[in-house]
Amino acid sequence: MKQQTVIIGIAGGSASGKTSLAKQLYDYFQGNHKVKIVKQDDYYKDQSHLSYEKRVETNYDHPLAFDTDLLVEQLQKLKNGERIEKPIYDYTLHTRSQKTEVIEGRDIIILEGIFVLAEQRVRELCDILIYVDTDSDIRFIRRLKRDMEERGRSLDSICSQYLETVRPMHEQFIEPSKKFAHLIIPEGGHNQVAVDLLITKMKSIIDEKEKS
Please report the pLDDT score of residue 164 as a whole number. Answer: 93
Give 111-151 pLDDT, tens digit per residue.
999 999 999 999 999 999 999 999 999 999 999 998 898 87
Q: State the sign of the Cα–Cα–Cα–Cα dihedral 187, 11, 194, 150.
A: negative
- 3-state SS class at 163: helix
| C-alpha dist (Å) from residue 102 to 7, 9, 71, 88 | 17, 20, 14, 10
Domain 6-211 fold = Rossmann fold (3.40.50)
Helices (H) and strands (E) in the chain, counts: 8, 7
Please report the pLDDT score of residue 152 as a whole number. Answer: 82
- Delimit the domains of the chain by residue range: 6-211
Read off the pTM: 0.93
